[in-house]
Structure 1
């Protein structure tokens, strides 16, 4: 297996070396460069063409948000896909989350996350799967669900179609949707439900398709609106498999 290549960006050398060490301990990951500011991050991303950029948000000069926007907007290699950007920060303030996602970041993780969680997030974003810290997911849900219902759910016809689609989901698919709404990654959902990660990924994609949604955050918001977060946690686990596939 060819390792996923990672560019580490942070203005503190100690943090860069710590992140390099975390990446280097995984056989399927490899650091191909480090950058100490946003300008260097853009230059190295263009030159090295990594699979994933671990991007700090708060840096002097060009911020991580601006660097992310420039990398993804001005990617100069039409024959090579642009890297996925996983934003790392000490802060989970809404302004950073929203700005990073608007700039095109695929994931947002706090720097105090466990090394295994960071490694899983790198793999997830490399595969195009959004990776959001649970606290970030909760904040996004809270922010969006505070909007007027008309802005949240769209036209009545779309809303009705999604309600019918929710009713058509199997028990197992509802359990997967519930765990997505709680900010669980595919790997964590697989552990919770005694499934393979590939099976979970397939079911998440099927759920998004059935509900006419683009991503996991939209799915989490819909689950919140539908009251699924009120389901008892003891309905989520290996024994629940008998209720639906």
Structure 2
């Protein structure tokens, strides 16, 4: 099955480069592109892609708002496209807002082409993309954001008691917060990968969270993961991992 991709970026050369990289990969095909957020919304609704590769900072409407509108106002019977945000570290606050808006994950613009292709496939399969090597930094920065950024920052922990989770689900949540993929969690806890995926789904449902990124933030804010704990090493197997929707 071919994954249909929409590229949204305000720079002509970037759109052309992304199209070339994506179209060269088996099973991936760019069905259209757009130069700004408003056009990206219109093209997403018209083309119904599987994945939208979205720049975060564009003139006029940002990728955050475009993501929010695509996912919130989807009028078609099939599920809305999954959104992969492209960003740089100096735009962290936009990444956080996009994840709040329902984006499946983010990738740095200087990532290797193979990593981009992998991220698109992961997202198309219903998971999300957030490399464990940057999970710790993302969560630390998110926790430090002042109120009023993007939609205004409200903590994820109130009204979501851990008592809703079983002991095993809390163990899985902790591993998610450490940035491990389903396969890595399965090895760590002696479970099957399918069992881990099922438990992650139950954690998200019980806590009313949208994706694994929010789950990781929740775990850190709830004190389940020591603040001094380092992120997984970049050379660990399974990177980039599926740290968004299971």
Question: Structure 2-normalised TM-score?
Answer: 0.70
1:143 Cα deviation after fit: 4.7
The corresponding residue for 2:95 is 97
Structure 2 equivalent of residue 74 of structure 1 = 73
Moved more, 3-12 or 25-34: 25-34
| Partner residue, 1:241 | none
Name the count of aligned residue pairs: 218
- Distance in 1 between the 2:42 and 2:64 partners? 15
User: Which position in structure 1 is the counterpart of 2:118?
Assistant: 120
Please give the per-residue CA displacement for 1:189-227, whole angstroms capped at 9, x wherever unaligned: 49x959xxxx53541331452684443234434655334
CA gap of 1:123–1:132, structure 2 versus 1, over 3 A, is same
**128, 148, 161: which is aligned to 1:158?**
161
Displacement, 1:169? 3.1
Tell me the distance in 1 between the aligned counterparts of 2:46 and 2:11: 22
Q: Which runs of 5+ in 1 are unaligned?
A: 238-245
2:105 corresponds, among 98, 104, 107, to 107
In structure 2, stretches of 5+ residues that fail to align are 146-154, 238-246
Comparing both chains, which one has the higher relative contact order based on Cα–Cα distances under 8 Å and sequence gaps of 6 or more?
2
TM-score (normalizing by structure 1): 0.70
Aligned residue runs from structure 1 range 28-177, under 5 A: 28-75=27-74, 77-134=75-132, 136-143=134-141, 153-154=157-158, 158-159=161-162, 161=163, 165=166, 168-169=167-168
**What is residue 213 of structure 2 aligned with on the other side?**
217
Alignment CA distance shift 1:128-1:37 (3 Å): same
The structure with the greater share of residues assigned to helix is 1
Backbone CA RMSD of aligned residues = 3.7
Q: 2:198 aligns with which of 205, 217, 224?
A: 205
